[in-house]
Amino acid sequence: MPVMVAIEAEHVGKSYRTEGGDVGLHDLSVQAEAGTVLALLGPNGAGKSTAVRGLSTLLSFDRGRARVAGHDIRTQAREVRERIALVGQSAAVDDQLTATQNLVLFGRLRGMGRADARARASQLLDQFGLSEADARAVRGFSGGMRRRLDVAASMLVRPEVLFVDEPTTGLDPMARRDLWQILRSMVREGTTILLTTQYLEEADALADHVILLGHGEVIAEGSPDRLKSMVGPPVIQLVFETGAQADLALSAIGRTVKGAVLRDLRTVAVDANHTDVLARCLEALRDVSASPIEVSMGKPSLDDAFMRLTGHQTDAPEEEA
């Protein structure tokens, strides 16, 4: 069976003139197969929302071409809109209405009959863990519940492509994980998702393909693992009880493995660029009286990749444990 491409864009862009030069989205090309998750990852102002707004036909790109759900975003915007949904950064649901009333309203706006809309609303509230709050006004909802309802509202008529702009900004870790589960289940049902995020962990957890954006340009792209591998191999860390032992260990390991360094006074770090590096380190330590009190292997994080490739700190907050 041929692979269906759900989103394809060639060199799209939109520029805003400012005194400091052009800003916006300069040049983006993407291709997302149906039923996959594409993440646009980048700090504030990288151009993520501009990309989403353009691909979802909310704004016109200045240049380039794109097809979404099989239709041209410029010449077939109506067909595109019928097949997509967009969850923006601010909630689209009405605070004064109950969860059910909101969903029924969204269904009616999408052309559903009242009975169908009510049935689908109840199914979605159940699926999104909101059944018990169905008759409550949204103004009393927590941020996580509101976000789930917002995503549910985009699903009244199941979209082929869902655009989600920063789905979990401001949510606590538990609410974030709940939303990830929901997005994953939507992908399992065949929806293609394009999400934007500033959270490296989020791209890692959800995306098949990640595009790293900075200042409107693509800085790097690939699978989360590929981006992480661009940073270099994993690092083995050996922690010793004393600095003297670490010095001893460093010279012993240095005789057999290249590139061993002291990471801090008591820690020797070695690149795990071959499968036998750890074994060789431990072998070298047998000959000297230095045994590590702790051995760990650290995989480079997407955070490391981002820093290395963009020279930027991300704006993502520290993850609570």
Ligand X SMILES: Nc1ncnc2c1ncn2[C@@H]1O[C@H](COP(=O)(O)OP(=O)(O)OP(=O)(O)O)[C@@H](O)[C@H]1O
Q: Half-sphere exposure of residue 241, counting CA atoms within 13 Å on the CB side?
A: 4
**# chain residues binding ligand X, by CB under 6 A:** 12
For residue 37, what is the DSSP state?
A: E
Asked if 111 is part of the footprint of ligand X (rule: CB under 6 A), the reply reads no
Using the rule CB under 6 A, give the single segment among 46-54, 179-187, 204-212, 269-277 that binds ligand X. 46-54
CA-nearest of 35, 33, 73, 49 to 197 is: 49
Q: Which of 16, 31, 62, 63 binds ligand X (CB under 6 A)?
A: 16
Q: Residue with CB nearest ligand X?
A: 49
Q: Which of 19, 44, 135, 311 binds ligand X (CB under 6 A)?
A: 44
Asked if 195 is part of the footprint of ligand X (rule: CB under 6 A), the reply reads no
Using the rule CB under 6 A, give the single segment among 27-35, 44-52, 74-82, 200-208 that binds ligand X. 44-52
Q: From its phi and psi, is residue 312 left (phi > 0), alpha (psi between -120 and 50) or beta?
A: beta
Task: For the segment 115-144, give every residue that binds ligand X (CB under 6 A).
Answer: none
Using the rule CB under 6 A, give the single segment among 39-47, 91-99, 105-113, 179-187 that binds ligand X. 39-47
Q: If residue 295 lies in a helix (H) or strand (E), which one and from where to where?
A: strand 294-298
Three-class SS state of 235 = strand
Question: Closer CB to ligand X, residue 24 or residue 35?
Answer: 24
Backbone angles phi, psi at 210, to 5 degrees: -120, 135
Asked if 58 is part of the footprint of ligand X (rule: CB under 6 A), the reply reads no
d(CA 152, CA 143): 14
Question: Closer CB to ligand X, residue 89 or residue 296?
Answer: 89
Q: Which of 7, 12, 30, 46 binds ligand X (CB under 6 A)?
A: 46
Residue 261's CB is within 10 A of a number of other CB atoms, namely 12
Per the document, the length of the chain is: 321
Q: Give bridge partners of residue 236 from the DSSP assignment.
A: 270, 297
Position 297: which residue type?
M
Q: If residue 67 lies in a helix (H) or strand (E), which one and from where to where?
A: strand 63-68
Residue 88's CB is within 10 A of a number of other CB atoms, namely 17
Using the rule CB under 6 A, give the single segment among 48-56, 200-208, 265-273, 296-304 that binds ligand X. 48-56
Question: Closer CB to ligand X, residue 16 or residue 255?
Answer: 16
Q: How far is the CB of 15 from ligand X (least distance, A)?
A: 8
Asked if 38 is part of the footprint of ligand X (rule: CB under 6 A), the reply reads no
Q: How far is the CB of 84 from ligand X (least distance, A)?
A: 18
- The footprint of ligand X (CB under 6 A) covers 16, 23-24, 42, 44-50, 198
